[in-house]
A and B are shown apart, each in its own frame.
Chain A
Amino acid sequence: MVVLASVLGVFDITLDKLSNGELWLAQFFRGLSDGATYASVALALVMIYKSTGFINFAQGSLALLGVYLAYIFSVEQGLPVAVAVVCAMAASSVVAMFVERVFIRPFPPDHVLPLVIVTLGLLLIIDSAVGIVWGFRTRSLPSMFPSGAPIEWGIAQLTWRTIGNLGTVFAVVGLLYLLLSRTKVGLAFRAVSSNLESARLVGIRVGPTLGFGWALAAAIGTLGGALVVPDLLLEPSIMLRVLIFSLAAAALGGLDSLVGAVIGGLVVGLARNLLVTFLDLSELALATAVAVILVVLLVRPTGLFGSTRVERV
């Protein structure tokens, strides 16, 4: 009992906190909201992973650029936030296509290691460029969704923003699912990642297909960023932190599963909020995400919903 009490003491756990139902519920709602934002960035990672077979570290930076553009369009140019975000999604897609064409396409798509290193380089360059252009002071981007909470239960509030974040991420995953399973370009994506040579031999233009994947992922990443940033402050390193939580979400979900990315995101969001609140671990929140990645890789490398590659010979 003494040991237990001292452990609880270290983590500042009080029975007051643990027995506070409203606090649990409040953190549950917050976790869902955060989780939805991680999930939407994780979806961008999964999209690229599904078509190229590697994790694109530049994804977070393209999203960062997109969010800054959304800030310019809304706060500085005075567009409604939702319209600004849509414009920023389009603009970041164009940038992503350019980046893919210039920096990625010269490398053979089946040699993953050079490509991963190029995306790491792009991450550093784009993040720094954003810092040079817009400076390092923090800004705040308003949310696309109205403030207020339609459902309240003491301190626990189900806010419009939480509902909006969740709704957005479910809409995105639904649209992506339809795109991949019902359209020709979706078939091309999956064919390219399954067998590059045969994809060429059925007439798929591999370069433009991957370029479209980059554009789509940048748009989703920007949307995800626009969900995240209102909770935090906009500054050039913001997406790096989000990227780590989203990577944890994508790894937990299985890297190549859209549904997995959403569930992974929600789990990571909930875990983060509950840990921070009840164990008072706010300094270790990022480490928690990295721990999730490690545990998944050790225990279940294909994640919760990832496909194991079956191939008979």
Chain B
Amino acid sequence: MSAAVSPAYLEVAGLKAAYGDIQVLHGIDFSVDEGQIAVILGANGARKTTTLRALCAMVTTEGSIRLGGEELAGQRTADIVRRGVAHVPQGRGTFPDLSVEENLMAGAYVRSDADVRADMEQWFETFPVLGERRTQAAGSLSGGEQQMLAIARALMLRPSLLLLDEPSLGLAPMITRSLFEQLTAINAAAGTTMLVVEQNASLALGVADVAYVLEAGEVALSGPASELAADDNVRRAYLGY
């Protein structure tokens, strides 16, 4: 492999994170190529969410995070967003007091181009239920609708890297499946690089190109998603299905 010669789009090296004095991420390395979907798997407490939060400077970190060759470590969240990193946090990624439309406008907060309205209409076509509720307060939507809104809000940034923290959390299996279909379609159409944290290992490995398995704040296993999915030992030991 020539990974060391031509660096990947997202290159994370020696990433550590701490909550106060307690270090929870112990120097992990991973990389995602441009246009790929990568998935981070692992049990509860494996620090999957912390890893995503570290990429956006939502926790104190050490180590190197290079996006397209540019160092993100040490930058503030607001500046990392301006580099094109969109993050859908776990559970509550919307603005409950703002209308659906205003949520999407907020998602495009750092953009100043003229296509914001057109993008909004495009996501209303992709997620018709949001279009029907465009003037409603986001807090009045169902859990699944809010999750769609959170993702549409993130896409309004026209991100080059989309971070998704458990998009399937609390969704019915059918909605989860269609959501992942949408995500693959967006990845194929716009070439958006995605890094997904997911509990539903089989579904995530089905759409991902590469996978990393975290265990207690360290990368325990990594490889092409199809290989991990096919390895019975890996499945039994780490993925629990």
Q: A residues near B, CB below 8 A? A: 184, 187-188, 190-191, 193-195, 197-205, 307, 309-313
Taking CB atoms, residues of chain A closer than 8 Å to B87 are: 201
State how many angstroms separate the Cβ of B90 from the closest Cβ of chain A.
Answer: 10
Give 17 A-B contacts (CB < 8 Å), ordered by A residue: A187-B105, A187-B109, A190-B95, A191-B98, A191-B109, A194-B97, A194-B98, A195-B92, A197-B58, A197-B92, A198-B106, A198-B153, A202-B106, A203-B77, A203-B78, A204-B109, A312-B146
Taking CB atoms, residues of chain A closer than 8 Å to B82 are: 203
Q: Once bound together, how far apart are the Cα atoms of A310 and B96, in whole Å? A: 8
Taking CB atoms, residues of chain A closer than 8 Å to B78 are: 200, 203-205
State how many angstroms separate the Cβ of A46 from the closest Cβ of chain B.
Answer: 14
| CB <8 Å contact, B97 and A187 | no
**Closest Cβ neighbor of B107 among chain A residues:** A202
Taking CB atoms, residues of chain A closer than 8 Å to B139 are: 309-312
Q: Once bound together, how far apart are the Cα atoms of A199 and B77, in whole Å? A: 10
List 4 A-B pairs, minimum CB-CB distance, nearest first.
A203-B81, A203-B110, A194-B95, A194-B97
| CB <8 Å contact, A195 and B95 | yes
Q: Knowing A191-B98, A310-B139, A312-B143, say if A202 contacts B110 (CB, 8 Å).
A: yes
Q: Once bound together, how far apart are the Cα atoms of A197 and B56, in whole Å? A: 11
Taking CB atoms, residues of chain B closer than 8 Å to A203 are: 77-78, 81-82, 109-110, 157
Q: Knowing A203-B81, A203-B82, say if A198 contacts B95 (CB, 8 Å).
A: yes
Q: Once bound together, how far apart are the Cα atoms of A29 and B142, in whole Å? A: 49
Within 8 A of A (CB), among B136-160: 137, 139-143, 146, 150, 153-154, 157
Cβ-defined partner of A200 (8 Å) among B77, B95, B97, B170: B77
Taking CB atoms, residues of chain B closer than 8 Å to A199 are: 95, 106
State how many angstroms separate the Cβ of B135 from the closest Cβ of chain A.
Answer: 12
State how many angstroms separate the Cβ of B217 from the closest Cβ of chain A.
Answer: 22
**Closest Cβ neighbor of A204 among chain B residues:** B109
Taking CB atoms, residues of chain A closer than 8 Å to B86 are: 201
Within 8 A of A (CB), among B75-111: 77-78, 81-82, 86-87, 89, 92-98, 102, 105-107, 109-110
**Closest Cβ neighbor of B95 among chain A residues:** A194
Taking CB atoms, residues of chain A closer than 8 Å to B97 are: 190, 193-194, 307, 309
* B contacts with A, residue count (CB < 8 A): 34
Q: Once bound together, how far apart are the Cα atoms of A191 and B107, in whole Å? A: 10
Q: Knowing A184-B109, A193-B97, A195-B94, say if A202 contacts B58 (CB, 8 Å).
A: no
Q: Knowing A187-B109, A312-B141, say if A202 contacts B81 (CB, 8 Å).
A: yes
State how many angstroms separate the Cβ of A54 from the closest Cβ of chain B.
Answer: 16
Taking CB atoms, residues of chain A closer than 8 Å to B170 are: 313
Cβ-defined partner of A201 (8 Å) among B89, B105, B146: B89
| CB <8 Å contact, A310 and B110 | no
Q: B residues near A, CB below 8 A? A: 56, 58, 77-78, 81-82, 86-87, 89, 92-98, 102, 105-107, 109-110, 137, 139-143, 146, 150, 153-154, 157, 170
Taking CB atoms, residues of chain A closer than 8 Å to B106 are: 187-188, 191, 198-199, 202, 204
**Closest Cβ neighbor of A206 among chain B residues:** B78
State how many angstroms separate the Cβ of A303 from the closest Cβ of chain B.
Answer: 16
Taking CB atoms, residues of chain B closer than 8 Å to A200 are: 58, 77-78, 81
Q: A184-B109, A197-B89 are in contact. List 20 more A-B contacts (CB 8 A).
A: A187-B98, A187-B102, A188-B106, A188-B109, A190-B95, A190-B102, A191-B109, A193-B97, A194-B95, A203-B77, A203-B81, A203-B109, A203-B157, A204-B78, A307-B97, A310-B137, A310-B139, A312-B139, A312-B140, A313-B170
Q: Once bound together, how far apart are the Cα atoms of A190 and B107, in whole Å? A: 13
Taking CB atoms, residues of chain B closer than 8 Å to A194 are: 95-98
Q: Which of A199, A201, A203, A311 has the most CB of B within 10 A?
A: A201
Q: Once bound together, how far apart are the Cα atoms of A136 and B173, in whole Å? A: 70
State how many angstroms separate the Cβ of B3 from the closest Cβ of chain A.
Answer: 29
Taking CB atoms, residues of chain B closer than 8 Å to A310 are: 96, 137, 139-140
**Closest Cβ neighbor of A200 among chain B residues:** B77
State how many angstroms separate the Cβ of A284 from the closest Cβ of chain B.
Answer: 38
Taking CB atoms, residues of chain A closer than 8 Å to B96 are: 194-195, 309-311
Cβ-defined partner of B142 (8 Å) among A184, A195, A309, A312: A312
Taking CB atoms, residues of chain A closer than 8 Å to B98 are: 187, 190-191, 194
Taking CB atoms, residues of chain A closer than 8 Å to B143 are: 312-313
Taking CB atoms, residues of chain A closer than 8 Å to B146 are: 312
**Closest Cβ neighbor of B143 among chain A residues:** A313
